[in-house]
A and B are shown apart, each in its own frame.
Chain A
Amino acid sequence: MHELSLMASVMDIAQEELVRHGATRLTLLRIRHGILDQVQPDAMRMAFEVMTSGTPHEGAKFELVEEPLRLGCALCGHEFTPAGREALYEPCPACGESAPFRVLGGEGIFLDHLEAE
């Protein structure tokens, strides 16, 4: 439900970048996010369509890229990328202990690529 708020921020940033680069029409917009960040792809896509509809950006391509999560075992220090969300609660693949993990990377929601004309 917060996807409309997120997309409103995305479009503000995109507009700033277009002005800075002397462009007027978006042709592609790409967002990168971590798996823990609660970004629902269908809701984001719909928010993008709603916000670009009837504007010069209507019809622009929208891409959403999931960034791999980097975890570190709090006990043995082993660093790894979990295979999926379920793996967050499995024992450490190196030491086998059900220790807590520290999130080392792969968090956040970023606008990371635009194409425009």
Chain B
Amino acid sequence: MEIPVVRNVLEANDRIAGRLRADFARRGTLVLNLISSPGSGKTSLLERTLNDLSGEFRMAVIEGDLQTDNDARRVAASGVQAVQINTEGGCHLNSSMISEALQALDCEGLDILFIENVGNLVCPTEFDCGEDAKIALLSVTEGDDKPQKYPYLFHKARAMVLNKIDLLPYVDFDVQKARAHACALNADLAVMEVSCRTRAGLDTWYDWLRAARKTKKEASHE
């Protein structure tokens, strides 16, 4: 018997992600899914952001890691709510994990929810977590060919944060090449160059966050 079907393989994940997205839209909470290789500086970017903007926004973080709650403890030191998901070897977060983690958060009046995905440039990109935007984080100590090697993330991301630019004099990282390849399939990609260590460029990132948050809040009132 032949059974012709056309069904999205990720439909179960996408269904839960859709419910999360509708819930966040009602609350006006901006949800950002941070994706990068291990060691690019996702947690450092969050630490800076939470400390610098905590007077301005109510924020929370869902941390995804294979093991340990080190990152949740790091970001919780800034005083924001943080919940850790340990995937026990799993290479990505999915919408059902987010749904469960939300039980541990007080989402009332939340302005921005950051999801720090498992350090991995491949798998997290496939699984919608109900976010408004994926943020690709890349650091100059990685190869400048990362966007070329992992096109899907840079195609799907709304913004790319290039971190550790204070190290540019010491590494062979061609910023223009990385930018061009990251934008090859994504003309609208916002690219921001920052150093979490020296704080260079962080204001551009904060302005981007403010604008995205404003758009989300206004949409929730419509």
Grouping DSSP codes into helix (H, G, I), strand (E, B) and loop, the A interface class, with mixed when no group exceeds half, is mixed
Question: Which of the four size classes fits the interface of chain B?
Answer: 20 to 34
The reply to whether A115 and B2 contact each other, CB–CB distance below 8 Å, is yes
Q: Beyond A17-B3, A38-B126, A101-B185, is A9–B9 a contact (Cβ under 8 Å)?
A: yes
Q: Beyond A5-B94, A10-B9, is A38–B125 a contact (Cβ under 8 Å)?
A: yes
- CB neighbours (8 Å) of A109 from chain B are 8-10, 126
Of all chain B residues, the one with the shortest Cβ separation from A112 is: B6
The reply to whether B155 and A103 contact each other, CB–CB distance below 8 Å, is yes
The reply to whether B148 and A114 contact each other, CB–CB distance below 8 Å, is no
- CB neighbours (8 Å) of A2 from chain B are 91-92, 122-123, 126-127
The reply to whether A108 and B184 contact each other, CB–CB distance below 8 Å, is no
- CB neighbours (8 Å) of B92 from chain A are 2, 5
Q: Beyond A1-B91, A23-B1, is A111–B7 a contact (Cβ under 8 Å)?
A: yes
Interface residues of B in 115-150 (CB under 8 A from A): 120, 122-123, 125-127, 148
- CB neighbours (8 Å) of B3 from chain A are 17-18, 21, 23, 113-116
B interface, CB within 8 angstroms of A: 1-13, 90-92, 94, 120, 122-123, 125-127, 148, 151-152, 155, 180-181, 183-187
**10 residue pairs, one from A and one from B, having the closest CB atoms:** A2-B123, A100-B187, A114-B3, A109-B9, A1-B91, A74-B187, A36-B152, A111-B7, A38-B122, A112-B6
